[in-house]
Amino acid sequence: MPYTTGMDPERSVPVSLFFTCLADAFSPGVCHAAVEVLERFGATVRVPLSQTCCGQPAFNSGNRKEARAMARKFLGSFPDDGYIVTPSGSCAAMVKHGYPVLFRDEPRTLARAREVGERIHELSQFLVDVLGVTDPGSDFSGRVTYHDSCHLRRGLGVVEAPRKLLRAIPGVEFVEMEESDRCCGFGGVFSVKHPQISCRMTERKVERILATGAGTVTSGDLGCLLSIQGMISRYGYPVKAIHLAEILAGKPKGN
């Protein structure tokens, strides 16, 4: 299958995969899918196995001491050069925007955090903006709608890349949902502290998804999909939440 990329196929691009703790534990298929897509476009993928969690839940809940410990661990887990790619807008935004806050009083770690932040990319953004991919070469098929995760869209400013990739898949009929950029209600710790409000927001999101008639809803963040799929599964709605990486890879995986 001929793939379209702006990169020189002779030159390999070194990429470290930041697979995220959530996908590690709950959706290994997302991580495999990310590797598959990256390798498809000539990336040499390394998976640093000492990585754990970027510390976002601790940071977002105001527990900065713990967040700093995890952030330090994260910064030490990745090599000093090459791209870092992650199938999560939220985790990428944490490293890019959260770490400089955590280390604002530690100039040396701050410099390291900024440097790592420069190299970190969310998957779809990396494919489109860095590798110049125009056709992801996926055999996924069906009607698909896309939920903008807040941290991918407003945190990283990535709006078009996932849409471009989805539209380029021949078997995919891409449909926009209403309010695609409205928060799904997950919000990490928020969904535990305020589950009722969180559910109300997820409910509105699921209504918008169902209104499209799509069989698949996708997003660049597993957290959102956790909440969305959780409600879909509870009520047996005729739609499935699948991570963008898996759609790009082309074969939906169950785990």
Partner 1 sequence: MELDANAFARNSRKALSDKALQEALGRTTGRFMLHRAAAVAAFPGFEEARERASAIKMDVLAHLDAYLGRFVEEAEKRGVVVHVARNAAQAREIAARIARDEGVTLAVKSKSMAAEEISFNEALEGAGVTVVESDLGEFIIQLAGEAPSHIIAPAVHKTREEVSLLFERHLGEPRTDSIPELVGMARRHLRAKFLSAGMGVSGANFLVADTGSLVLVTNEGNGRMGAVLPRVHLAVVGIEKVIPRMADLPTFLRLLPRSASGQAISSYVSIVTGTKRAGDPEGPERMHILLLDCGRSAILEGKYREILKCIRCGACLNACPVYQSVGGHAYGWVYSGPIGAVLTPLLVGLPGAAPLPDASTLCGACAEVCPVKIPLPDFLLELRSDARDQGLKTPGEIAGMKGYAGVMKRAGLLEAIERIAGVLGQFFTKGKAIGGMPYPFSGWTERRDFPVPAAQPFRKQWKIRRGVTR
**Nearer Cβ to partner 1 (29/162):** 29
Burial of 252 (0-12, 13-18, 19+ CB in 10 A): middle
The phi and psi torsions of 134 (rounded to 5 degrees) equal: -115, -25
Name the residue with tokens 């709605």.
237
Do the Cβ atoms of 43 and 11 come closer than 8 Å? no
**Nearer Cβ to partner 1 (94/248):** 94
Least gap, CB of 179 to partner 1 (angstroms): 9
Residue 173 pairs in a beta bridge with 143
**Nearer Cβ to partner 1 (4/179):** 179
| Tokens found for residue 219 | 């997003």
Do the Cβ atoms of 102 and 59 come closer than 8 Å? yes
**Nearer Cβ to partner 1 (26/42):** 26
Least gap, CB of 75 to partner 1 (angstroms): 13
Least gap, CB of 168 to partner 1 (angstroms): 27
Least gap, CB of 26 to partner 1 (angstroms): 5
**Nearer Cβ to partner 1 (7/45):** 45
- Residues at the interface with partner 1 (CB under 8 A): 19, 21, 23-28, 31-32, 47, 49-53, 55, 57-67, 69-70, 73, 77, 101, 150-151, 154-155, 181-183, 185-204, 226-227, 229-231, 233-234, 255
Residues 91, 34: Cα–Cα separation, whole Å: 15
* C-alpha Rg value of the chain to the nearest Å: 18
Least gap, CB of 50 to partner 1 (angstroms): 5
| Amino acid at the residue 12 | S
